[in-house]
Structure 1
Amino acid sequence: MITQTEAGGVPVLLAPTTGPTHAGLAFRVGFADEPLARRGITHLTEHLALHSMGVTDYHYNGATGVEFTYFHMQGDEDKIVGFLNGVCASLRDLPMRRLAVEKDVLQAEASGRSPAVAEPMALWRHGARDYGTPAYPEWGLPAITEDELRAWVARYFTRENAVLWVAGDAVPAGLELDLPSGVRHPTPAPSSALPVTPAFFPGSSGLVVWDAMTPRGAKSAIFADVLERVMFRELRQEAGLSYTVQTDYQPIGRDGALVTAVADGLPENQGAVLGGMVDVLAALRAGRVDPADVAAVVTKRVEQFRHAESVGARLPGQALNLLLGRPVEDIEQVIGQSRAVTAADVAEAAAGAWQSGLLMSPVHPEHLGFAAAPSRSETAVHGYAHTSLEEPGHHLIVARGGVSLVQDENVATVRYADCVIARAWPDGARQLVGADGIVVRVEPTLFADGQRAIGAIDAATGPVRVFQPPRAADDIPKPQPRAKRAAAAVPVGGNRALSIFFLVVLWPAVLFFGAIGALLVISLFVDTEDLGATIVALVFCLGVAVAGAFGIRASMRRLRAARA
């Protein structure tokens, strides 16, 4: 049974356990709270706070998530006290001498991390803010200063914004949790970059991913598990279309949740995988829910709850709920909520989830009721146009209010008021990201009067500008106009006029010497008096004809290359 108390002004959840004692200190701050221009500041704080722990003979760890950051320790009570008190002391006085080193450590960590299969979903659903921010790399690390770190800690790493859980017999004696005073911070409201749902965007080959925002609770969680059970049966066991079929239920904020479904498949089967997933969703929301599936899911969940209660594994989730302002739930209450869910409840949850659905698929599903998610801007800004030095029809427009990149019918616009980061390279390159996720990449070497554009952009994006390391000279693009690119692809002497000239000359020559060669072949059987001279002439004529044929072929290839 979970009981509530406090330590050092921090609320504490305590529960007995049959396993080893463990404890965790959590704060209500995560990636969703970070502006993209300072993406990584919470993770950096966590690393610096743990540095003072050094190398120990006991297990401890820290983690930064979308909404929470926590420090966890398993071991004897005196070691737990030393660890948690040490973390709090470190948060009050971060080892700033380690700032540059820890930034390098985080960048090395990121380089070895494989992106999650569903990571693009957050970007397309939310854009480049709040719950979409975790889909981006930690681009803000180079710009984070000591003062910004101290201000971040003072705002979020306080006792009012913290909770402690302890799986053990009692709160360990000597636990001080000396944290500064502050306020509780609610989770950010999830933004949306989708004007219409259900929506889709094209994804990488091999995966179909669907997710939906749903109300938080047992109905949505059981819907997610039933969805996985039915998809596994339909797509893997019966149809043999997928190997990996799985779903996930993830709470979002105080009252929301995200249900995600993933199915893989061979390239030739992706249309069938998509159709199979959509058919399962359609059946569930239409009410074709087998009560046996619901009963099996509920039974499994109850077993998991019972086991988690015995080892204290429910504590972290309940502690995070407390940080969100939700009540701590008794185990019997949680089990009762699951057992009360019916097949009709699952159908209702499926119908509601469909309305907010987002699909990532290599196969376009417009005919299945999904609208295309916006991948470009509706309008361009009005300002000074910098013509592309490569493509005359393309241009960069820089105005007082923003910047647009126009490439034929494709328009990407980032308005300065909505710009969440402006990455800046020493050679002048800039990358602007709007809150909706639209990106404008500016390479001044590729546009007429490009440096003038950079000056105007820098003057408007100072607060969100993040300087990047220098690029190698070979990485800085140089303009290659289409005519020059085409000429470079054609062999020397392969211009269009010369190719036409060769065709005009070679076709008659091939026909003439080919005809002479044919007559000489006939003469070999009719007139054998001067056989040697006839053979020599025949070889010459055939040689000229064959060489001419190769010349015609090469000229035709040059003409096709010139037209491209």
Structure 2
Amino acid sequence: MTITRTEVDGVPTLVAPVDGPMTAGLVFRVGRADETLARAGVTHLIEHLALHGLGMTDYHFNGATSPVTTTFQLQGTESDVVAFLNGVCGALADLPVGRLAVEKEILRTEEAGRGGSVAEPMALWRYGARGHGVVGFPEFGLSALTADDLREWTARWFTRANAMLWIAGDRVPAGLRLTLPDGGARMPAPAVTSALPVTPAFFSGPSERTVAYEGIVRRGTAAGVFAGVLERALFRALRQEGGYSYHVAADYLPRDAEHASVFALADMLPEKRGQLLGEFVDVLAALRYGRVAKADVDAFVTTAEAALSSTDAEARSLPGRVQSELLGYDPPTLAEYRAQLRAVTPEDVAEVAAEAHASSLLMVPDGRGPDWAGFTAAPTQSSRAVYGDRHPLLANRSQAMITGPEGVSLQGGGSLVTVRFGEVAAMLAWPDGARRLIGFDAITVHVEPTLFAGGPAALAEIDAAVRPELRVDLPARDPENVPQPPSPARRARRRTGPVLHRAADRIASVPDGLRWTLIIALFLVNIRLIDALDGNTPLRVAVCSVILLLSLLLTDWAIKGLRRLARYVAR
């Protein structure tokens, strides 16, 4: 059985026979990595609108938006395939924009209920806030998207030239019409960006129970074998031998025509973090230093060859083959792939492991990464502030917002973050005046103008400098969640506080010496009083005891008052 290449209404089509129901997928070379952060979600929204009109059917269908492709897929009879794909193309030509508000809410609900994937923070830290890094952020653009935005995006990306069709079945079903606009040429893969000045690198991930790894490698069969060998080696070290992990996995994921990522992860109990991370890094080091077990290579090759021997192997390869061709990569035939698998050696795998290490990124819990193994912490701050006007924080004048023609910085408390206006990926805007600027490098500056001196003027300067298409207007916040400036009385204490605090602190820092000085002085007074009370010993003892007690109480009261003053002026 072989794959047949043909066309349907000018759309390149691959057909391979399969036992059972027909399955088909119409794939477009557009995904989330093609979007800007300020309009993120546009492709996903179009996918939903294109499927809405199909309603309830007797066949299984679905849509999927990945970083680089959008797929409309179904399984059913030949007539089902015709009805589904003809309907999708018709909806793309005339989107049901009357459903826009409803579908936006559905997507927000879908996002809120979707569990986070470790691939998302990995993408954000590696690529920043554009290109492949957009998948690491929420679909910020949904609220701003209009019907015209959707029509423009559809006309540009959902075209005949930018699509391919695959059919797992005996033939192209009669009556199938892919009525898509021509669209010129196929779109190239998204440009690759970077937010990592140095690799290998690590960052603190959102989960205390997961360690994840990614390395970028050249596409090829040896890279796929490396992913399989890595999974076997990690499983053996982390689960079978160490007992640190339950779920261990690795995968080979094509990114564009030239490169792919090798991704691996392992779960753990938080208290096992140190042991697991050490073993994880040791496995990676062993592979790149050439300690690749031939038995692991042979086991992966045997498993892969067994999958290639099934009767529907050609049909199952269609989705991956179509995605590769849309990205500009010419994948090998199954026969060529089988020969390449058999030729991979442990030395080839070690070479890929070394290549992956040079670009590797580790996600670790709580920020304690393997710097001892040559990994560098990914940057969380900016290197320098912009030049401009300084707007002190009203509650703490040692911290400030700086605004100037270049951009905005927040500085103080040992932290510095800067977003330059020419590198804004998106600006989130709330009606109460709050602004959040996200830079291409994923560094974020959040501005609450009520908390800074001259905040309203700074806000106007920021709004004027950021391009309108990068602005995302968000719903109003609950008033309880809007930060309020400190009261005038508290701000006055802030101005005089440092002087008073130092004075009170100096007094309160010598309480013991002060107390004993007063006690000794009062004791001497007691002696004189006792001498004056001749012949009345009980009275002399009583007076002495009362005065000594009062001296202790008054001294403690004075010291506690000074300490309360110190705490008050420190607020």
- TM-score where L is the length of structure 2: 0.87
Post-superposition CA distance 1:320-341 (Å, at most 9, x none): 1221233353221122211211
Alignment deviations for residues 213-239 of structure 1 (CA, whole Å, 9 cap, x no partner): 111111111111111101111111111
For the 8 Å contact 1:390–1:481, the answer to whether it is kept is no
Moved more, 259-268 or 153-162: 259-268
CA contact (8 A) 1:270 1:363 kept: no
Q: 2:361 aligns with which of 358, 361, 365?
A: 358
Question: Quick one: structure 1 residues 307 and 190, their matched pair in 2 at CA, closer, same or farther if it must change by over 3 Å?
Answer: farther
Any idea what SS the aligned residue of 2:312 has?
helix
- 8 Å Cα contact 1:30-1:69 kept in structure 2: yes
Q: State whether structure 2 residue 213 is matched by structure 1 residue 210.
A: yes
* SS state at 2:316 partner: coil
Question: In 2, distance between residues paired with 1:10 and 1:414?
Answer: 43
Q: SS where residue 353 of structure 1 aligns?
A: helix
Q: Report the equivalent of 2:92.
A: 91
Matched with 2:36 is: 35
Q: CA deviation at 1:352?
A: 0.8
Partner of 2:14 in structure 1?
A: 13
Letter in 2 for 1:471: R
| 1:97-112 pair list within 5 angstroms | 97-112=98-113
Aligned position for 1:185 = 187
2 CA distance for matches of 1:542 and 1:264? 64
Aligned partner of 1:492 in structure 2 is: none
> Aligned ranges for residues 430-445 of structure 1 at < 5 Å?
430-445=435-450
2:515 touches 2:556 (CA, 8 Å); kept in 1? no
Matches within 5 A, 1:61-460: 61-182=62-183, 183-204=185-206, 205-307=208-310, 309-310=312-313, 312-361=315-364, 362-460=367-465
Q: Match of 1:394, SS?
A: strand
Equivalent residue, structure 2, for 1:475: 481
CA contact (8 A) 1:219 1:345 kept: yes
Q: Any idea what the Cα deviations from partners look like across 1:433-455, whole Å, max 9, x if unmatched? A: 11111111111111111111111
Write the letter of the residue equivalent to 1:100: A
Native 8 Å contact 2:256 2:328 kept in 1: no
Q: 1:557 Cα shift?
A: 8.5
Structure 1 residues 560 and 388: CA distance shift in structure 2, 3 A? closer
Question: Structure 1 residues 549, 55: closer, same or farther in 2, change over 3 A?
Answer: farther
**Cα distance between partner residues in 2 of 1:381 and 1:244:** 46
TM-aligned CA deviation for residue 207 of structure 1: 2.0
Shift of 1:29: 0.1
Q: Is the 8 A contact 2:45 2:103 kept in 1?
A: yes
How many Å separate the matches in 2 of 1:436 and 1:335?
Answer: 41
2:57 alignment partner, SS class: coil
Match of 1:491 in 2: none
Give the aligned residue type for 1:3: T
Give the conservation status (yes or no) of the 8 Å contact 1:391–1:482: no
Deviation at 1:393, TM superposition (A): 1.1
Distance 1:139 1:251 in 2: 26
Amino acid at match of 1:467: D
Q: What displacement does 1:343 show? A: 0.5
Matches of 1:132 and 1:306 in 2, distance apart?
37
Q: How much does 1:364 deviate?
A: 2.6
8 Å CA contact 2:215–2:357 kept in 1: the answer is yes
C-alpha distance in 2 between matches for 1:74 and 1:465: 41
- Residue 158 of structure 1: CA displacement? 0.4
Q: CA shift at 1:506, angstroms?
A: 13
Deviation at 1:264, TM superposition (A): 2.4
TM-score between both structures, scaled by the size of structure 1: 0.88
Number of residue equivalences: 541
Structure 2's unaligned 5+ residue stretches are 495-500, 520-540
Distance apart, 1:408 and its partner CA: 3.7
The offset of 1:561, in angstroms, is: 8.3
1:530 aligned partner: none
Q: Distance in 1 between matches of 2:553 and 2:316?
A: 82
Displacement of 1:399 in angstroms is 1.1
Contact 1:405 1:411 in 2 (8 A): yes
Tell me if the contact between 1:389 and 1:481 (Cα under 8 Å) persists in the aligned partners. Answer: no
Alignment check: 8 A CA contact 1:391 1:481 kept? no
Contact 1:308-1:314 at 8 Å conserved across structures: no
Cα distance, 1:365–1:20 mapped onto 2, change above 3 Å: same
Asked whether the equivalents of residues 18 and 310 of structure 1 are also in contact (C-alpha less than 8 Å), the reply is: no
Cα distance in 2 for residues equivalent to 1:223 and 1:481: 62
Partner SS state of residue 224, structure 1: helix
Conserved? CA contact 1:2–1:15, under 8 Å: yes
Change (3 A) 1:336 1:206: same
Deviation at 1:543, TM superposition (A): 13
Q: Which stretch has the larger CA shift, 253-262 or 171-180?
A: 253-262
Distance in 1 of aligned mates of 2:568 and 2:212: 41
CA distances 1:17-46 after superposition (whole Å, capped 9, x unpaired): 013211010000000000001100000110
Contact 2:202 2:377 in 1 (8 A): yes
State the 1:483 CA deviation: 10
SS at match of 1:380: coil
Output the CA distance in 2 between the equivalents of 1:482 and 1:114.
45
Provide Cα deviations, 1:45-101, integer angstroms capped at 9, x if missing partner. Answer: 101111111121221111111000010011010111011001000000001111111
Task: Give the conservation status (yes or no) of the 8 Å contact 1:499–1:556.
Answer: no
Contact 1:499 1:558 in 2 (8 A): no
- RMSD of aligned Cα (Å): 3.3
Residues 374 and 499 (structure 1), Cα distance of their counterparts in 2 relative to 1, 3 Å cut: closer
Tell me, yes or no, if the aligned pair for 1:11 and 1:162 is still in contact at 8 Å.
Answer: yes
AA aligned to 1:354 is H
Once residues 339 and 381 of structure 2 are traced to their aligned partners in structure 1, the CA distance between those partners, rounded to angstroms, is 48
The residue that corresponds to 2:4 in the other structure is 3
- 1:387 and 1:466 map into 2 onto residues whose CA distance is 27
The structure-2 alpha-carbon separation of the partners of 1:241 and 1:505, relative to structure 1 and needing over 3 Å to count, comes to: closer
